Homo-oligomer: A and B are copies of this chain.
Amino acid sequence: MKKTDFSTVLPKYKAVFFDAFGVLKNYNGMIKGIERTFDYLAENEMEFFVLTNDSSRSPELLAEKYRSAGIEAINTDHMISSGMLAREYFKHKLRDGKVVYLGTEKSAYYLEGTGLEGIPIGTFDSQNSEDIRALVLLDEEGFDWNKDLNKAINLLRRKNIPIIVANSDETYPVSKYEVNIAIGGIADMLETIVGKRVIRFGKPSSQMFIFAYEYMLKRVDVRKEEILMVGDTLYTDIMGGNKFGVDTALVLTGNTSPEQAKFLIKSTGIIPDYVCNSAVL
């Protein structure tokens, strides 16, 4: 595994997809110096999107979080969240009726204006499941795991309805050494226990990359070969980018530590085009 300086990689491309957490910021806030990368993009009129498996809040609030961490260049138009893909599904496929959701009120943003009425699992009356159309997993917060996961399991046993998870990540980092279980990890457990297929949105599914690419094409004419995906996680960012057909750069400021990178690339067979210390220029 040869490491490459990000400053020799970036100029080869016309546009960039960034993963957010572990690339642009971490539990401490902004990755030091990352603003120079965005300055470079602006100076060179390069387009970019932030592709995040995060459905805990709206693109507006997501962008705000990045700006409040000090990355001024990111606005709502740059955010592609897995929740946005789930929202397309709600709107075009489910269309109307009631759904029960796991998550906070903020995460329920992705149900707004879709034609669906969202009922929080906590207030959902199990005796009244007749007209429930789907179970939607938006966020790991906002409900009581002991009580409400059992409620969810029994809803799924009583009614054969689709299970949608708007963020397929299993964990998210909360400090240098600690993580929390994310809604994607909870979805795995439900899937194992009820034996039904969960519909997952977010990286590594190519769908998220295609969605972003289509947005990109509205702004600038760019071929896949001219796009770089920058991420800190092999399974989501790099595998997804590779299958979609863009070049990929793994950075070592997040989930993949410098010590593990070589071994993980070899043992998983998920091979980035570049390995860089960080996305900082």
A residues adjacent to B (C-beta < 8 A): 88-89, 92-93, 144-146, 149-150, 153-154, 156-158, 160-163, 170-171, 177-181, 185-186, 188-189, 192-197, 199, 205-207, 210, 223-225, 235, 239, 242-246, 263, 265-271
Contacts and interface: CB of A to CB of B under 8 A. Distances in A.
Contact of A161 (B158, B185, B188, B271): B271
A92 B195 CA distance: 34
A269 B194 contact: yes
Contacts of A206: 205-207, 210
Contacts of A246: 93
Contact of A153 (B181, B197, B242, B268): B181
Given A157-B177, A157-B179, 12 more contacts: A149-B181, A150-B179, A158-B177, A181-B193, A185-B189, A186-B189, A188-B193, A192-B192, A196-B269, A197-B235, A197-B269, A197-B270
Contacts of A193: 170-171, 181, 185, 188
Contact of A149 (B93, B145, B161, B210): B145
A122 to B, nearest CB: 13
Given A149-B145, A177-B154, A188-B192, A271 B160 contact: yes
A153 B269 CA distance: 13
Given A210-B207, A242-B93, A243-B207, A171 B153 contact: yes
Contacts of A199: 239, 242-243
A235 B199 CA distance: 12
